[in-house]
Every structure is written in C-alpha cells, then in structure tokens.
Amino acid sequence: MKSRKDASLTLPNIPSPDKPSSPTSPVDIQCKEWKEAIALMRRPAWPVIRLLTIIVISTGHKDIGFKDIKRLISEFPDPLEIDGMEYRYPQRIIEPYCSILINNINKLNIDANAEDADSLLEMSVRVTDGNGEFMPYYEAVMAIMQQEILLRELERINSLLCSPCGCDICCKGPFKEDEHQFFEIPLRQEELSLFDLPVIENNHSIKMSPYDMAPFLIKGVPFYKYPDSPMIVRWEKGYSLMLLKNDRCPHLDTNSRCAIYDTRPDTCKRPQIFPYVIEETGDLELVHKAKLLAITDCPYVKALKPYIHRYASLNGLDLMLRNNKF
C-alpha cells in the first residue's frame, strides 16, 4: 500500500448515514459482513472507552486490572446513552479493548507521581501538536489510546467489508496504463520471513524514500523499472514490499484470495480506512493529527462514504478521502 502520509483532502460535512452515496455498491449492503461492519461504525467503541477512562481517573482508582474494568462496566446502565447515541451491551463493546484500556489508564494514573510521569514522558508519551508543541501528558496518552483502539476496531471493520467484495486491488501493483509506477506495502522486520523475495538494502536505500524525486537506483536503473520484481526494499522508514507495474503479491492465489490470510502482514489487515489520530514521522516522532483516512479506490469506501464520515465524526476526527492508485 502506498504511504498515506501525504493525504490532503478534508471533508468537513457529515452526510446522513442512512443513504449510501453510491447506488452501485459492488456488494449487497444487507450481506451479513457489511451489516456487522456498519453496526460497528454506527456505534464506535471509543466514546464508551473515553467515558470509562474519565470515570476511572476522576474516582482515583489505581492499578486497574481486568476485574476492576468488568465491575465498573457492569455498573453502566444498559442501554448507555452518550451524546444522544444509545449503546446496547456496553460491556460487549469494551471487552475486545480491555488490555489497551488497562495499559493506558495505568499510564494516566502514574501521572499523579511526578517522577514516574517524567520517565514515561521520556520513554514514550511525547506527542506534538500541529505546531510542534508537546501536548499535555493526559491528552497525549488519550490520543495514543484512541489510535490503538481504532487500529484494532478498523482491522475488524476493514476485514468484514473487504471479504465479500471479491476484489484484489490491494494485492497487485499498478496496471500498465496507470500513472503510478509502484505500489508499496510497508512491512515490519518480523514479517520479512513471510516472503521468499530478494531484500534490497544498501547505503543509499536506507537514506531514501521510494517517493524521492531522484529515485533509488538498482544497477543504474530506477528501482521501479528493475526487472526482478516484486522485491522488498529497506528504506529510511523501514522495509516495504514493492509491487511494480503488473506485479501481484506472491501470496495472491488464482482465486484472488490471500494464501496467508491469517498471518498476513499488519498493513494488509488495515486497508482501506485507517486512523491517523497519531502519526509516527520518519524521525520516530509522534504527531497528533486527529484524522481518519479512507482510500476511495476501494469499492467499499466508495459505497459507504456516509457511514465512514459519520464514524469519523463520532470519533471526533476529520475525514480525509484520497485516491491512491488511479
């Protein structure tokens, strides 16, 4: 997947989610996967988790564990009303995120101890706002927690939406006639062993980005024209599977299914709606963005824009829509 860093279009209006924008959805909107995904988008977990966090912090609970969370949720009314939205079974909504919640709530509790807070700030909780200023500790932890919650929630939503589409755009390089020369799927180092492909890294590649104006050269040829593809390249920001024109991922089978679906790389689990509450920059800095990115090449993004707008709004995020490939 191409880097999403340069997304640019912000759409502030929120159309009604009752009417999908495209009458030509590739999938029956009533199919069970889409119905489940739409239900998740209409009742995102973050507002409930934020409320629970505020309650825990304001009541001074320390060293919160699973039992405490369970007990606190059981005291919630059912349905729970937040900002005019009714949440049925709030405990079921929170359960998949308990470990993220506990980890971050306990960071917030440590804030009461100035010494520990300082060391945490040094370690991991430095987030800058758009002006380069450090955010207050509480807001920074909340932003990191929201990013982690949305990553997990959108992994589920994207998988539900993608599976009935019968589409494999994400697993192929650009078509011959496309303007783009390559398509990039960032990989973690532990994921390299999933691919039996050459890994190209040298003193030049590790100081470059695939989007540099002067391209990285392999044997004197721009990497996107090199015949031995697909390949993995180590860039400044890390490893990426590079799918060049007409390439397909080696794990895409003849039925357009991923042959390693259960162990596929993280990036493949997160198309094509992606949280940018926090962005990690190339310098490993965390920047608060408060955005949600959706890639409009994707058939389910095209068909479900109003629901995605609404989901962004319920999470307090601006929606960016971007065309990646065409």
As measured in angstroms, the least distance from the Cβ of 162 to ligand SF4 is 3
From candidates 72, 192, 217, 258, binder to ligand SF4 by CB under 6 A: 258
Tokens for 49? Answer: 């988790």
Does 170 interact with ligand SF4 (rule: CB under 6 A)? yes
Please state, in angstroms and rounded to a whole number, the distance separating the CA atoms of residues 180 and 177: 9
As measured in angstroms, the least distance from the Cβ of 26 to ligand SF4 is 8
Does 162 interact with ligand SF4 (rule: CB under 6 A)? yes
- Sorted by sequence, the CB contacts under 8 Å of residue 244 that are 6+ apart come out as 173, 174, 181, 182, 224, 225, 226, 229, 230
As measured in angstroms, the least distance from the Cβ of 163 to ligand SF4 is 8
Please tell me the number of Cα atoms within 13 Å of 285 on its side-chain side: 12
Q: Parallel, antiparallel, or unpaired: how do β-strands 10-11 and 318-322 relate?
A: antiparallel
Does 95 interact with ligand SF4 (rule: CB under 6 A)? no
Q: Parallel, antiparallel, or unpaired: how do β-strands 221-222 and 217-218 relate?
A: antiparallel
Please state, in angstroms and rounded to a whole number, the distance separating the CA atoms of residues 1 and 241: 9
Stretch that binds ligand SF4, among 38-46, 64-72, 84-92, 163-171 (CB under 6 A): 163-171
- Sorted by sequence, the CB contacts under 8 Å of residue 282 that are 6+ apart come out as 209, 236, 237
What is the chain's length? 326
As measured in angstroms, the least distance from the Cβ of 111 to ligand SF4 is 39
From candidates 49, 135, 244, 249, binder to ligand SF4 by CB under 6 A: 249
Does 47 interact with ligand SF4 (rule: CB under 6 A)? no
As measured in angstroms, the least distance from the Cβ of 255 to ligand SF4 is 11
From candidates 218, 298, 317, 319, binder to ligand SF4 by CB under 6 A: 298
Instruction: Tokens 């995102």: give the residue.
Output: 44
Stretch that binds ligand SF4, among 39-47, 70-78, 220-228, 245-253 (CB under 6 A): 245-253
From candidates 17, 44, 271, 275, binder to ligand SF4 by CB under 6 A: 271
Tokens for 34? Answer: 């889409």
CA dihedral sign of residues 68, 69, 71, 75: positive
Does 186 interact with ligand SF4 (rule: CB under 6 A)? no
Of the two residues 87 and 307, which places its CB atom closer to ligand SF4 in the complex? 307
How many residues belong to the site for ligand SF4 (CB under 6 A)? 22
Q: Closest by alpha carbon to 4, among 324, 325, 289?
A: 324
Ranges within 122-151 binding ligand SF4 (CB under 6 A)? none
Q: Answer whether 230's CB lies under 8 Å from 247's CB.
A: yes
- Sorted by sequence, the CB contacts under 8 Å of residue 30 that are 6+ apart come out as none
Q: Answer whether 203's CB lies under 8 Å from 174's CB.
A: no
Does 168 interact with ligand SF4 (rule: CB under 6 A)? yes
Does 299 interact with ligand SF4 (rule: CB under 6 A)? yes
Does 230 interact with ligand SF4 (rule: CB under 6 A)? no
Of the two residues 252 and 290, which places its CB atom closer to ligand SF4 in the complex? 252
As measured in angstroms, the least distance from the Cβ of 299 to ligand SF4 is 5
Q: Closest by alpha carbon to 127, among 160, 104, 102?
A: 104
Of the two residues 80 and 304, which places its CB atom closer to ligand SF4 in the complex? 304
Does 49 interact with ligand SF4 (rule: CB under 6 A)? no
Residues that bind ligand SF4 (CB under 6 A): 162, 165, 167-171, 185, 249, 251-252, 258, 260, 264-265, 268, 271-272, 297-300
